[in-house]
Amino acid sequence: MRYRVSIIVACLSATANAQPAPDYGFQWSTIGDINNPAFDGGGYGFFAGRGVVNYEYRISKLQITSGQWLEFVNTFSTRDGGEFFTRPYQWGAYPDPHYTGPGRRWTPKNLPNWDMLPVAGVSWREAAMYTNWLHNDKSPEQWAIENGAYDTSTFSTDPNTLVFTDQLTRNPDAKFWIPSLDEWLKAAHYDPHRHGQGEGGWWLYPNSTDEPLTPGPPGVGQTSADWIDPNIQAGEWLIPLGAYPDETSPWGLLDISGGASEWSEEHLRHRDRFFNGSNAGMTFPMLDHAGYPAADFPHTRGPYGLRIASVVPAPTTGVLLVVTLTPVVLRRRRIAP
C-alpha cells in the first residue's frame, strides 16, 4: 500500500525559555507575586511603603563570589594602568607576585574554597561596571564596562557639595543590574505565604523570622555578621558563601546577613547609595533588620559586595512538524480488450 505524506506545522508553547540574559553560572531565584503589599517600616519607618514590585525579576541566590569577581578583574586589570582597576580588600585572591605587567594580575589564594569566598571592598561604581560587563556578554573590550546597565560617563562627584552625578537607575533595556531597594527588600524579606497559603507579608530578618540572627561559625551560629574569629585574623571572611544553608529568605536567598554588605541602586540626597545587610565581623547587626537603612559614597570601597538582579527569560514559541501518512488506494487501469 502506498501513502500520501502530509506535513502540518503547529505552534507550541515551549517549556524551555529563551535566554535574553545568560545564566553565567549564577544560581537564580525568580521573584514573583506581582504588586505585593508594601513593607510597613517594621517599627523604624525608614522604608515604610517600600518593597512593592509590579513585575517579575530574578536575583542571584548568592553574592558575587571570588571566582566570579576574579574573572572580571583580570579581564581589565592586565593592561596599562590596570593596577588601579577594582581592588577588593577581602576576597579569595591576591596580586600575583610572578606577574610583571602590564597592569596587575590577581591569582587565587592557597585555600580549598577560595572561589566561594565573599568579595568585600567593591565600590558602587565598580559594581555598576560589573553589571555592564555581564550585559555586554563579558566582552574584553573597554566599552563593555562603560555602558550597558549604567553609563559610566555620568560617574562624578562635585568636590564642593559632595553631590554625585551618577545615573540613578539602570537603563530600560538592561539585562543585569544592581537591585533596586524595592527589589532587594522584596527578595530578602517578603514572603508570599507569610500568613498562610497565598497570604503575603513581611519578615523583619532575612532568614524568614522576626528574630535577630545568632552570630557564630557554621554549625554554631546563623551568620558570620557580628562574629569575629578568635583563632584566625579576619577568619570570619574565610567562611564560604552558602555555608549557612538553613538561613534563607522566603525566596531561597543565602547570606543576606554575613559575607559582604550589599549595594542597591537607591540613593540618598544624591550623596550616597544605600547598602543593606550586615557584613562578616560587623558589630552593628541592626543592618539585618528590614527597616534599618545605611548608605555610603558610590566611590567608596567599604565592606561592600553585590548581589545581581536580572530579567526573567521570556517564554518562547516552538514549531512542531507533524507528519501524517494517508493510505492511497491505487486503482488498476482497465485495458480495453
Work out the percent of the chain whose per-residue pLDDT is above 70.
Answer: 87
- The C-alpha angle with vertex 100 and arms to 96 and 106, in degrees rounded to 5, equals 25
| Mean pLDDT score, 40-59 | 95
Helix (H, G, I), strand (E, B) or coil at 89: coil
Q: Smallest Cα–Cα separation from 290: which of 43, 30, 35?
A: 43
Q: pLDDT for 207-219, tens place per residue?
A: 999 999 999 999 9
pLDDT of residue 253: 98
For cell 559614597, what's the residue? 297
Give domain 2-328's CATH number out of 3.30.70, 2.60.40, 3.40.960, 3.90.1580: 3.90.1580
Alpha-carbon span 35 to 31, nearest angstrom = 11
Beta pairing class for 28-31 and 2-17: unpaired
Task: For residue range 293-314, list pLDDT tens digits in order.
Answer: 899 999 999 999 999 999 998 7
Instruction: For residue 255, give the DSSP letter.
Output: -
Distance separating alpha carbons of residues 213 and 223, to the nearest angstrom:
7
pLDDT above 90 as % of the chain: 81
Q: How confident is the model at residue 14 (pLDDT cuts 50, 70, 90)?
A: very low
SS3 state of residue 74 = helix
Extended strands (E) in the chain: 2-17, 28-31, 57-60, 93-95, 106-108, 176-177, 190-191, 201-202, 261-268, 272-276, 295-296, 304-305, 309-310, 315-328
Q: Give the pLDDT of residue 332.
A: 41
Tallying the residues shown for the chain, one arrives at 337
* pLDDT score of 8: 42
pTM: 0.88
- In angstroms, the CA 301 to CA 317 distance is 45
Residue 44 pLDDT: 87
What pLDDT is attached to residue 317? Answer: 46
Instruction: Give residue 5's pLDDT.
Output: 44
Q: Is the pLDDT of residue 322 over 50?
A: no
Instruction: Categorize the per-residue pLDDT at 12 as very low, low, confident or very high, splitting at 50, 70 and 90.
Output: very low
Spans of all domains in the chain: 2-328
Return the pLDDT at 334. Answer: 40
List 8's β-bridge partners, or say none: 322
Lowest mean pLDDT among 11-25, 46-60, 100-114, 227-241: 11-25
Q: Give Dmax (Cα) for the chain.
A: 113
Average pLDDT over residues 111-120: 97
pLDDT band at 269 (very low <50, low <70, confident <90, very high): confident
pLDDT of 16 higher than 80: no
